[in-house]
Amino acid sequence: MNQLTFRPKKSLGQNFLVDENIARKIIEKLTPNPQDVIIEIGPGFGVLTKYIISQARKVIAIEIDAKLCESLRGRFRSSKNFTLIQGDFLKTELRNYLEEEVLVRFLGNIPFHITSPVIFKIFQIRQFASDMTLMIQREVAERIVANPGGKDYGILSVFSQLYSKPKILFHISRNVFKPKPQVDSSVIKWDFTQPADVGVVSEEVLDKVIHLTFQQRRKMLRKSLQQIPGFFEYSKKINFNLKKRPEELSVHEFVELSNQISKLWKI
């Protein structure tokens, strides 16, 4: 089996990058160094993998497709710094591959349909990661870096900007993938070493406030936060404009609001 005879599976989001210049550009932006431990999500045929294997200390690649795994095993059999995990990234226990002394890096041209779950899974272990660089749908990338006040700003933007400094590195035309997807992509990087400069009293309360308010993004905060037991009483003690809607709140304002709620409400 090779790339020419392989039949891509739509259900696994298999749109392979076939332009070597773009692959090199991604690696250039990633700038792997000899100490790096890189976890790659969905390596496919290894278009990016080959570069990181030659530049990083350790590469752990997680690929769900058995045929692609067979091809990767053959291609990189002599690379001692390469570990291939055949399985679903979303079900992989990442803690087994994290290191105490080194912050890992994430890389992947990931299937569009699992973009959010992949991002949120990595957010859970962000204290062990320095950054993640992903190729995702352009529209989603633009939502991630969006400022408050527009329709693009949502849960993904708030958590991304809270935990890191997300940056779109460049856009990629759909024409450099095979089969050609319906949409254009962007390469986006989250730098976890640069979280927002905020002091969070309770991560749990902040999480709840962001989720509850964005579940009803057109409603005023005072309405959606009624779902918190006793909120009507708390709201009298909160010094915050609760007539605002979640899409108007910056990350700092979400933290300020949730810190005030944390002092009144113990989850």
d(CA 267, CA 6): 51
**Of 60 and 64, which CB lies nearer to ligand SAM in the complex structure?**
64
Bond before 246 cis per omega within 30 degrees: no
**Of 70 and 204, which CB lies nearer to ligand SAM in the complex structure?**
70
Q: Using CB under 6 A as the criterion, what x/- string covers residues 129-168 for binding ligand SAM?
A: ----------------------------------------
Residue nearest to ligand SAM (CB): 42
Least distance to ligand SAM from the beta carbon of 185, Å? 9
Least distance to ligand SAM from the beta carbon of 85, Å? 9
Contact range with ligand SAM by CB under 6 A, out of 39-47, 124-132, 166-174, 255-263: 39-47
Among 71, 109, 133, 160, binds ligand SAM (CB under 6 A): 109
Strand order in the sheet with 58-63: 82-86, 58-63, 37-41, 104-109, 129-137, 185-191, 165-172
- 62's tokens: 């997680």
Nearest to 136 by CA among 147, 145, 148: 145
Least distance to ligand SAM from the beta carbon of 127, Å? 23
Contact range with ligand SAM by CB under 6 A, out of 8-16, 30-38, 124-132, 221-229: 8-16
Nearest to 58 by CA among 17, 107, 113, 91: 107
Least distance to ligand SAM from the beta carbon of 30, Å? 13
Contacts of ligand SAM in 45-104 (CB under 6 A): 47-48, 62-65, 68, 88-90
Residues 6+ apart with CB under 8 A from 194: 164, 165
Please report where in the chains the tokens 């803690």 appear, as a residue. Answer: 95
**Of 88 and 99, which CB lies nearer to ligand SAM in the complex structure?**
88
Q: Does 210 bind ligand SAM (CB under 6 A)?
A: no
CB 257 within 8 A of CB 232: no
Which residues are registered as beta bridge partners of 58?
A: 37
Q: Is residue 233 classed exposed, middle or buried when 0-12, 13-18 and 19+ CB atoms within 10 A define those classes?
A: exposed
CB 39 within 8 A of CB 106: yes
- 71 in helix, strand or coil? helix
Least distance to ligand SAM from the beta carbon of 49, Å? 8
Which amino acid, 86?
Q
Least distance to ligand SAM from the beta carbon of 211, Å? 24
Quote the DSSP letter at residue 196. Answer: -
Least distance to ligand SAM from the beta carbon of 250, Å? 33
* Residues within the interface to ligand SAM (CB under 6 A): 12-17, 41-44, 47-48, 62-65, 68, 88-90, 109, 111, 114
